[in-house]
Amino acid sequence: MKGRQIFLDHLKDRELAALVVDGRLQDLFIETDALSPGSIFKGKADRPAKGQGGIFLSMPEGKGFLRQIKGVSQGQSLLVQVSGYAEAGKAVPVTTKLLFKSRFVIVTPEAPGLNISRRIRDEELRDRLIEFMHDALAPLNYGMILRSSCLTADFDDILEDARLVLDAALTVMTDDDPGPCMLLEAEGPHQMAWREWGDVDLIEANAGCIEDSGVLDQIEALHSPKVEIGTSTYFVEQTRALTAIDVNTGGDTSLAAGLKANILMARDLPRQLRLRGIGGQIVIDPAPMPKKDRKVLDSALKAAFRNDDVQTHVLGWTALGLIELQRARNRAPFVI
């Protein structure tokens, strides 16, 4: 299979969307029972958690936890958005900074102004887009970001999408229900695939297409902690506190075996974390290599995560020779 392909199907009664590039599984959205990032609620401020620097909220489905508590009093009604997936046994993280995302635009009610993705570098196109949207939508009551997908899109399609998102934002922002209640449910995997994965060569939506295409085999491989890359391997193992990555050189006994295995791991790691829905603290135990090569590995890791859509910080090396990462929890944990 060559090119970019999207497969939309159901697996074990869960909606699923898979992105395959040149025959290799690159991304995966899976329906879960948990509250998904993007859902918007009216919640009521409960008790402050002084030691944690936040406050708990009563929501229609369980408890939320808000860190921005300046000016918030107990019993106050708050408009919040789920910002990530909760760790086991913990409240759902929420924020008061709402974002309304679609394929071409992001509406930002609390951040006024019309902005454009830095990935669109053509200055002439940037100016034309800004001028067109400003004239068509004036006066623009909410802030808006034009996404990188606008690069190849028809201006009229962008405008239609923007108007739909602005209408949804207006409905939510002007709702007068004191809550707790849900105002906007996050999109499902199929809708998210349309929104996030952009132009593709083929879309398969027939029942059973995941299995018929062979993509199911790659999905089931995610149940194993072992990842093979060339002649080397690395293991992805989760605990309650963190995720451990252990790199092995395999049968390669050359002088540069450790560095080669570590660089291969670095290039592949964002994909594996994305597919497995892993966030939080991550610790890498690299294959043995000279200390002078650490900067090379650091550069490879940072370059790999720079193109990933999940915010990840490479924190550096520990005294034991381990590498620490901190990754946002905005992907559903792999559960199928």
Q: C-alpha distances in angstroms, 191 versus 30, 164, 196?
A: 11, 15, 9
Same domain flag for 170 and 125:
yes
Q: Does residue 182 sit within a domain?
A: no
Q: Report yes or no: 101 and 39 within 8 Å, Cβ to Cβ.
A: no
Same domain flag for 258 and 322:
yes
Angle at 215 between CA 336 and CA 12, to 5 degrees: 30
pLDDT at 176: 87
Same domain flag for 229 and 277:
yes
Is pTM beyond 0.75 here?
yes
169-172 long-range contacts (CB < 8 A, ≥24 apart) are: 169/98, 169/100, 169/107, 169/109, 169/142, 170/141, 170/142, 172/40, 172/79, 172/98, 172/100
**Domain-ending residue, one of 72, 97, 122:** 97
Same domain flag for 143 and 169:
yes
Q: Is the peptide bond before 288 cis (omega within 30 degrees of 0)?
A: no
Same domain flag for 319 and 233:
yes
Q: Does residue 276 sit within a domain?
A: yes
Q: Does residue 336 sit within a domain?
A: no
Number of domains in the chain: 4
Q: Does residue 332 sit within a domain?
A: no
pLDDT at 1: 67
Q: Concatenated DSSP letters for 30-82?
A: E--SSPPTT-EEEEEEEEEEGGGTEEEEE-SSSEEEES--TT--TT-EEEEEE
Point out which residues pair with 66 in neighbouring strands: 55, 94
CATH classification at residue 76: 2.40.50.140
Same domain flag for 129 and 48:
no
Same domain flag for 156 and 207:
no
Q: Does residue 334 sit within a domain?
A: no
Same domain flag for 235 and 317:
yes
Same domain flag for 271 and 289:
yes
Structural domain including 115 reads 100-177
pLDDT at 126: 95
Average pLDDT, consecutive stretches of 10 residues, N- to C-terminus, the chain (336 residues): 91 93 94 90 85 84 83 86 86 93 95 93 95 93 95 95 96 88 93 91 92 93 94 94 94 88 96 95 96 95 93 95 95 84
Same domain flag for 91 and 60:
yes
Same domain flag for 112 and 168:
yes
Q: Report yes or no: 112 and 143 within 8 Å, Cβ to Cβ.
A: yes
Q: Does residue 133 sit within a domain?
A: yes
pLDDT at 142: 95
Same domain flag for 78 and 171:
no
pLDDT at 61: 78
**Domain-ending residue, one of 97, 119, 140:** 97
Q: Does residue 134 sit within a domain?
A: yes
23: Cβ–Cβ under 8 A, 6 or more apart, which residues?
1, 2
Q: Does residue 130 sit within a domain?
A: yes
307: Cβ–Cβ under 8 A, 6 or more apart, which residues?
270
pLDDT at 121: 93
